[in-house]
Structure 1
Amino acid sequence: MRSDAHSNRLRILEAAMEVFATPGDTSLKRIAHRAGVGKGTLYRHFPTRESLVLQVYAEEVEGLEAAVRVLLDALSPLLALRAWLERLLKLGRCLPEFAAALHPPTGMSPGGCGDPRRPLLDALAALVSANESAGTITPGTTAEDVLLLLGPLWHVGGADEDGARAQRLFETLLRGLCPSGSARECLVTGA
């Protein structure tokens, strides 16, 4: 990457971090203006809003990716899935821009190769696969299914508001994902 292109990319990311951290207008137009670049330059580096948001929160994405192996080494597949989903739920509830970026991009087939959520979907797929092998998740469940079901919980009240309700709904989600015996183990052990 040329040095001016690299500089533009860094300015866009810095501007996006600042814009996302302040309430109000978080449009790409505002981000481009704050970075001192045109919208075309912004779109060359980040073709979708989702790709920009996920890059801004790249450390969180990398942490979620790395957590899969650690969790699967330390816990049963079901408890690893629960712990990972709880972490993702907390992030989504605390960082609305991050949660919004995890919805399927407009006009793109969910989970496709250009999907900016691909690293998270791959991490979640490893957890789903481990649970399918262990018989602790309903057969045929996909990472996309789980992410789609988790998404509405990010919007239950504010980050601190309705925490008990979000947790109750999360438990309901787990019961729905898992055959009856394994869901009981996950709910009792993970509570």
Structure 2
Amino acid sequence: MTGQRADARRNYSRILAVAEAEVARRGAAASLEQVARTAGVGSATVRRHFPTRQALLEAVFQERVQALCRRADDLGRSGDSRTALLEWLHDLLAYAVSARGLADALAYEPPTDRPAEGAAPDSCGALLADAAAPLLARALAEGTVRAGTTFHDLLTLVVGMALATEHYTDPSARADRLFTLAVEGLSPSP
């Protein structure tokens, strides 16, 4: 946004504020036309700032994703690598469940072993992959997670849980239950 005229910066800020409210109400299916109408700008203005729905979702969730990145950094200094990784994944799940549309935004990432490949370096998936990399690498090195586990595996689990529970009366409780099943497994410990 640097170098933009003052009215363009105001439009951007107004569109983003309206988009945040619309995404909170309707999730990733938020209407770009409704965003334009509510913001008092034309559809072309919205598309000039956010050429795709994904670009708009990425902008809406940047602040939350940055908070998750800071959290990963903080947890990276903790003693137990498994606990640190699981706490961060649980935080990611909680964000994805509470922020309608975030799971959808993350699901747009290409299905590769490293979702950030081909994505913009500041995309939600790329930022999260970079933030989680040290946590996962440490857990893998210490043998506290299954060998061969990738960030994409973990992101797919979290996104799947968030999307599968979004229509429950209490999606957070249901997502927490699924997270516990995924972490502890289906069979009771001997």
Same topology, TM > 0.5: yes
Report the more deviating stretch, 81-90 or 127-136: 127-136
AA aligned to 1:120 is: L
Aligned position for 1:187: none
TM-aligned CA deviation for residue 13 of structure 1: 0.4
Q: How does 1:24-39 map to 2 (within 5 A)?
A: 26-39=30-43
Cα pair 1:15 1:31 within 8 Å, conserved = yes
TM-aligned CA deviation for residue 16 of structure 1: 0.4
Change (3 A) 1:23 1:50: closer
Q: Which runs of 4+ in 1 moved over 6 A?
A: 106-109
AA aligned to 1:67 is: R
What are the ranges of 5 or more consecutive residues in structure 1 without an aligned counterpart?
A: 177-183, 185-191
Report the more deviating stretch, 160-169 or 143-152: 160-169
Cα pair 1:12 1:31 within 8 Å, conserved = yes
Cα pair 1:50 1:102 within 8 Å, conserved = no
What RMSD in Å do the two structures reach over aligned CA positions? 2.8
Aligned position for 2:147: 139
Aligned residues: 177
What percent identity do the matched residue pairs reach? Answer: 33
AA aligned to 1:128 is: L
Confirm whether residue 76 of structure 1 aligns to residue 80 of structure 2.
Answer: yes
AA aligned to 2:9 is: H
Select the residue among 11, 15, 28 that pairs with 2:14.
11
Cα pair 1:49 1:101 within 8 Å, conserved = no
Cα pair 2:73 2:131 within 8 Å, conserved = no
TM-aligned CA deviation for residue 59 of structure 1: 2.2
TM-aligned CA deviation for residue 19 of structure 1: 1.4
Aligned position for 2:160: 152
Q: How does 1:116-131 map to 2 (within 5 A)?
A: 116=123, 117-131=125-139
Aligned position for 1:112: 117
Aligned position for 2:50: 46
What are the ranges of 5 or more consecutive residues in structure 2 without an aligned counterpart?
A: none
Cα pair 2:168 2:174 within 8 Å, conserved = no
| TM-score w.r.t. length of structure 1 | 0.77
Aligned position for 1:179: none
| TM-score w.r.t. length of structure 2 | 0.78
Separation in 2 of the partners of 1:107 and 1:157? 22
Report the more deviating stretch, 45-54 or 104-113: 104-113
Select the residue among 93, 96, 104 that pairs with 2:97.
93
Cα pair 2:98 2:172 within 8 Å, conserved = no
Q: Deviations over 1:64-88 (max 9, x none)?
A: 0001121121241111111111111
